[in-house]
Amino acid sequence: MMAHRGTDAAFEGKPAAIHIERLDTDSEISGTPPIKGEYASAGTLESAGFDAAATKRLVRKIDWVLLPLLSLLYLLSFLDRTNIGNARLAGLEKDLHMKGLDYNAALAIFFPFYVAAEIPSNLMMKKFRPSIWIPSIMVAWGVTCTLMGLVNNFGGLLGARAALGIAEGVSSLVSPSTSLCGTDVTNVV
C-alpha cells in the first residue's frame, strides 16, 4: 500500500486524512476492481488502534465458533422449510381434511411473511446487540417449529406456516450478516 497526505482547504486546522491506494494484485486474483481513493484516519493498523495479533485471533474465533453454528442453523432451517413435502407424502392432506388447492395455499402463505420479516430484522439487528438478537430469533424459530406439531386443522396449518415464515425471514439474514465481519483489516493482516 502507498499512503500520502491529502490536502483540502475545507479541513484546515484538522488532522489531515491519509489517502490509501492499493498497489497489490489481490484485486486481480479475486476479480474485483482495485479499491482506490479510500480515506482513513491513520496509515497503519497500529496507529488506527488495531492490534494485528488480536484481529487475527478475533477472525479465527469467528471462523471456528460462530460460522459452524450458523451453518448448522441454516441447514436445519432449509430442512424445516422443505419438511412440508415429506408431511404431504405421510398423509398431511388426509389428516387435516384438505382439498383442492389447500396444500398450495399452505405452501404459498410462507413466502410473503418470509420476505416481509427481513427488513425489520435488519433494523432490529442494528438496534440490539447481535449477542441478544441472534439467540432470540433462534429460540423463536425453534419454538415455532416445535409448535407446528400441534396443528390439527387447515387454519392452524396456515397460521403455523405464516409464523414459520416470520421466524425464518427474521433469521435468514443471520448468515449473510456474518459476511460483514470480514473487513479490509483482515486482508492486511
Quote the cell numbers at residue 73. 442453523
Q: What is the pTM of this model?
A: 0.60
Q: Give per-residue pLDDT as tens, 75-89.
A: 887 887 788 999 999
Contacts with 33 (C-beta within 8 Å, 6 or more apart), sequence order: 27
pLDDT in tens, 21-44: 444 444 444 455 544 544 444 455
Give all strands of the β-sheet with 36-40 in edge-to-edge order. 2-5, 18-21, 36-40
> In this structure, how many other beta carbons lie within 10 angstroms of the beta carbon of residue 170?
24
Judge contact between 40 and 17, C-beta under 8 A. yes
Q: Residue holding cell 489481490?
A: 26
CA 119 to chain centroid, in Å, comes to: 12
Percent of the chain predicted with pLDDT > 70: 65
Return the ∠ at Cα 184 (arms to 7 and 70), rounded to 5°: 150
